[in-house]
Amino acid sequence: MTKSKYVIKQLGPDTWDAFAALIKRQGNASWGAPGCWCLWFHPRDAERVTNGDNGPGRKERLVKKGKAHAALVFDGDNAIGWCQYGTPEELPGIHHLKDYEKNLVKLPDYRLTCIFVDKGYRKQGVARAAFRGALDLIAKAGGGVVEGYPHDIPEGKKMSAAFVYNLTRRAYEKAGFKYQRPKGKGNCVMIKKVAASK
């Protein structure tokens, strides 16, 4: 196996500036929504203030309080991508929620909700590095059942990298995830038990 040239670091107060710089390089957006800051998946009222910054400031408050988790991919000193993960309580706002809840049997221990790569680094293995990095961080935190919601793209069909915010079903299958069920139009629920690492 080839060793990755990228380094994975946990999103936290010490990596906040690099994370913020990555988003600012994209025009203060993540996968296309101006001012997104990867907040969509968090509870609507989490760390929201009445008269203040509910964009980057809100995300920073969540990070400082340990309520926002991500595997950040670094190339040197620059963060170039991430995979956001967390418990269902931390990340309740998944896409196609009604469809998801209709066939829900049991909530997972963790969710993978968003994978993002700097525009200048796409198609260079950064998304997969972030994905693997999140699974490694989950293992270090004790492991558990992990769910992801990738795009279920039919064989032969192509999709712009800008819209593939959570990889593809094939990428999840290669990482040992099992298909569970469809979710919304073009997405699915994939699941894997991640063992705790020593």
Q: Does domain 7-194 have CATH number 3.30.1330.200?
A: no
Strand partners, 179: 190
pLDDT at position 47: 86
**Across the chain, which distance is largest between two alpha carbons, in Å?**
51
Q: How many CB atoms lie within 10 A of CB 159?
A: 11
Residue spans of the domains in the chain: they are 7-194
Q: Is the pLDDT of residue 31 over 60?
A: no
Render pLDDT for 124-145 as a digit per residue (tens, 0 to 9).
999 999 999 999 999 999 999 9
Query: What is the average pLDDT value for the chain, to the nearest integer?
Result: 88
pTM of the predicted model, to two decimals? 0.89
Choose among 166, 76, 81: nearest CA to 120. Answer: 81
Render pLDDT for 33-85 as a digit per residue (tens, 0 to 9).
446 788 989 998 888 888 888 889 999 999 999 999 999 999 999 999 999 99
